[in-house]
A and B are shown apart, each in its own frame.
Chain A
């Protein structure tokens, strides 16, 4: 009798431990969970609209930096046309929202799919290239996308931009924060699971030494394409969110300046760390209000 009553708390503690371990394995260690909870609870305490908007923007740029890091930090290919991929997703989501009645989520999905497809083709274009030439090629692809968005006035209204309705009627900043937090969590866990699988190991092998990876049986073509497709699709998804959140998409969002910002965040956070860029985004953007206030 005495034994069983003692065993129950032990078992409880064990199950708590396995829960922690499980959460850990999908990348949600206790400190990260605490940060997420803090962010999720923020709207309860912060009533200032400006601060809330800054939180959304920080999380948005953090998510982009994370997506960027998936390519830049792991297979060591700096995608210099990153902002254009984000913008492509934004345009796709905007067009679906304007011309169809499928709803905003279909638009986000469409953005992710189309951007993933373009990412796949960019991957094919960069296949014969190495190092800095990959960056150049993706930069040129990005600039082509931007030039197309400006030139195809019939579809995109050129530099006047597309006006996008909000994600659902009367969506508040708090609602956007939760939507973005949801998207971020899903993408983060997805990327994390991929990176912990053998595929992630292959990515790292390619990034560290292309030739050695190839020699030991890792097919660089397949993994490079896979990586480009996934990171572009994620970029497109966040781009779709951006379109709804800001309410207007112009070719400017595809410019090099945004790529530089995302790149800077991801490298400041530490390449190959996924979440580093997110922390960098919060730190830098929240610091910038301190200095401008």
Chain B
């Protein structure tokens, strides 16, 4: 393996890892705060991709505006979903919340996929690129889209980190994830925190879908791959561990690009799944073995 191949693998892994991290952070946040095993996360990714496509192609907006609009729309969609589905369930559910919420998201995923199919049809809606440029890194030419998508992902994660650490609302969200009853005693409105969290999680997914539009076109079933990838990441990090999800995102990205090179497309999947099964078997709490309910805590 020469240095160009190594650089190529490294770069692919990094660029991929950044977006995995972005998707997984949303998933981990939703699990950590709301205790929902979110299986419709990919559908918000697709929603973001569709929104960005229509904003960029149909309305001819500039790329950044399209991506911002797409993520805002995903946020709104997340808020609506929570108000319509999860808030009523939260009110009625007692001990079996985790499994009920999980089933609800599974159903939601089927419904949304079929809605996309009805509304947008079974065709791929993609663009060749947002920016017609390419960047040279480590002696390799990479399309500007990928680099910018990576930067957007890192920026979003950084902003989220600052939000959770520094603002009152962010602290409230972390409080809810640590101890719901304690949070209520401090006068935190649980319902609005849950809604906000779900909106944020969906926004991160939509942001991912929108910024990757030139690489993976919008398609009704396009959410399955990112969903599976982000579940990998979250499982490796430990469910609900947001900080770990960022690191695990890069681990998965690197592992995929390296094993793809050595094993080829088919066996690469088998290898990563095998590793995941071993991990679950010996360390079900994930690599960063924190408690399940923890969002950015040391």
Contacts and interface: CB of A to CB of B under 8 A. Distances in A.
A136 B269 contact: no
Interface string A125-169: 100110111011100110110011011110000100000000000
A158 B266 contact: yes
Contacts of B106: 260, 263-264
Contacts of B103: 78, 263, 267
Nearest to A142: B273
A261 B110 contact: yes
A256 B273 CA distance: 15
B266 A131 contact: no
B235 A260 contact: no
A151 B284 contact: no
A267 B273 CA distance: 28
Given A143-B273, A263-B103, A133 B280 contact: yes
Contacts of A263: 103, 106
Contacts of A152: 266
Contacts of B140: none
B281 A128 contact: yes
Contact of A148 (B37, B228, B270): B270
Q: Which of A129, A151, A263, A264 has the most chain B CB atoms closer than 10 A to its own CB?
A: A151
A151 B280 contact: no
Interface string A64-90: 000000000000101000000000000
Nearest to B282: A128
Contacts of B277: 125, 137, 140-141, 144
Given A151-B267, A260-B109, A143 B98 contact: no
Nearest to A152: B266
Q: Which of A141, A147, A263 has the most chain B CB atoms closer than 10 A to its own CB?
A: A147
Interface size class of A (residues with CB under 8 A): 20 to 34
Interface residues of B, number: 25
The binding surface of chain A is classed by DSSP as: helix
A144 B273 contact: yes
A144 to B, nearest CB: 4
A148 B277 CA distance: 14
Interface in A216-269: 256-257, 260-261, 263-264, 267
B274 interface: yes
Contacts of B231: 136
A144 B276 CA distance: 10
Nearest to A268: B107
Given A129-B284, A137-B277, A264-B110, A147 B269 contact: yes
A144 B107 contact: no
B290 interface: no
A160 B228 CA distance: 23
A147 B98 contact: no
A256 B280 contact: no
B30 to A, nearest CB: 13
A76 B103 CA distance: 13
A152 B266 CA distance: 8
Given A144-B270, A151-B270, A260-B110, A131 B99 contact: yes
A131 B231 CA distance: 16
Given A140-B277, A144-B270, A263-B106, 18 more contacts: A78-B99, A78-B102, A125-B281, A131-B99, A132-B98, A132-B102, A135-B102, A136-B235, A136-B280, A137-B280, A137-B281, A140-B276, A143-B273, A151-B266, A153-B266, A260-B106, A260-B107, A264-B107
30 contacts: A125-B277, A125-B281, A128-B281, A128-B284, A129-B280, A129-B284, A131-B98, A131-B99, A132-B37, A132-B239, A137-B277, A140-B235, A140-B276, A140-B280, A143-B269, A143-B273, A144-B270, A144-B277, A147-B266, A148-B270, A151-B266, A151-B267, A151-B269, A153-B266, A158-B266, A260-B110, A263-B103, A263-B106, A264-B110, A267-B103
Q: What 7 pairs across the A-B complex have the smallest Cβ distances?
A: A151-B266, A147-B269, A144-B273, A147-B270, A151-B267, A140-B277, A137-B280
Interface of B: 37, 98-99, 102-103, 106-107, 109-110, 224, 228, 231, 235, 239, 266-267, 269-270, 273-274, 276-277, 280-281, 284
